[in-house]
Structure 1
Amino acid sequence: MTRHGKNCTAGAVYTYHEKRKDTAASGYGTQSVRLGKDAIKDFDCCCLSLQPCRDPVLTPDGYLYEKQAILEYMLHQKTEIAKKMKAYEKQKQTQKSDSRLESKSEERERAEKFKTRENSIVSKPINPFTSGLSQAKEGQSADSSTAADSSSSAAAGSSSDKTLPCFWIPSLTPESKPAVLKKPSKTVFCPMSGRPIKMNELITVRFVPVDPSLDRVALITKQERYMCAVTKDILGNSVPCAVLRPSGSVVTLECVEKLIRKDMIDPITGDKLSEKDIIPIGRGGTGFAGSGVPLKAKERRPVMMV
């Protein structure tokens, strides 16, 4: 494929590089950018505040949170659920009152129909010699009345079809009814996994910090902050690690496979472990493609079709 030179503007080929350059300059089309290491959070950072945790807790799914941040989130969700429940109960009461009013109006209509039928009953004695003629006349008058009613209803229907509601007439102004609310669920869901989360299921995590006498760098700016509680290896995004539920200590998965799974005993407290007690921590990933984290961000923008 031929390519344009640096200053060549008369070529007939529209190259891929030129197409991407023009797309970025015009502001149309889908833009894809590869994320760097700075756009990925560290393994010991909170999933809500994205800052290093000072009082970390872990969910059973392996997501790390700052205790204050996750408790504020759960409290906020519970207040929102209470507001939605109040609105739902209010809507339920209005629906009940509307149904009562409708039932009362239907009962009134039935009573009025019954009264009209009772008043139309003839109370005078009928003459047997003129009953046939009177019945025939009544039948003819009834047929004529029904025909007149049908013609009038047809005319009314045609006129109602032709007339359109006018927004400037108050009686014909269309009204927007409030949306029907569904009953909200009372469970609080994890913002990362979307599964139900409870306060008693949160596990307190105890990181083992690196010896502060070796380096005087602040905790936030320090790259190597914590180490494994058993092997003393430095923890990071490139090192898979897990939390032991009984002690809350953080160890590497290599230590789990080579040491802890043989006896299934917590090396810190000596408690018996099960598979559910070993919870891998979700990592933020690294700048490499093999970290298991999607490193491409796409922004879909409008496209001009020719």
Structure 2
Amino acid sequence: MTRHGKNCTAGAVYTYHEKKKDTAASGYGTQNIRLSRDAVKDFDCCCLSLQPCHDPVVTPDGYLYEREAILEYILHQKKEIARQMQAYEKQRGARREEQKELQRAAAQDHVRGFLEKEAAIVSRPLNPFTPKAASAGNGPGAVTRDSLSNATPCAVLRPSGAVVTLECVEKLIRKDMVDPVTGEKLTDRDIIVLQRGGTGFAGSGVKLQAEKSRPVMQA
């Protein structure tokens, strides 16, 4: 066997001494120690000074103290507690101020975000929409009196707000570019194609599939 195998660090057993050493170094776990005779007081000695009492006092639990030592200890503890309470109140005040600052900052961010969203909204003029009632439930076109439905591509004329079919636009209105209801001249911007709801058939030209993006789980 080599010399390395004879070293204490090569042992496969975690010894009691190593456990005690690691426990003391780590600062965790229960530590036990055997007290010597020097650490054990006599029955007539003060529990604080470990010296014989000249003016002894005893607690209801049987602990013996020198009167001067216990009074000095109590005064010292009162001063220490008052100092710690003052530091605690100061820390609480600083924490409250910090919370107030965070709340004010959050409120300002909320207001700023609201104003930015409002400023980003562009107001566009709404065009009047004047469909005419139909006896069969589907409104007729303003010019050709054709029945209108989801299967019929339609458009709105901006000046009059009249609803006509795209077939009427291509065959009649685009020739002279005049609103047949009011007689006003039209431009391409005055002809607004209506978005249809579709008929449920794939050939209607309307997207019939809805998507919703959600976060994915990654390994």
Classify the TM-score, shorter chain. Answer: 0.3 to 0.5
Higher relative contact order (CA 8 A, sep 6+): 1
- Of the two, which has the highest radius of gyration? 2
TM-score, with normalisation over the residues of structure 1? Answer: 0.34
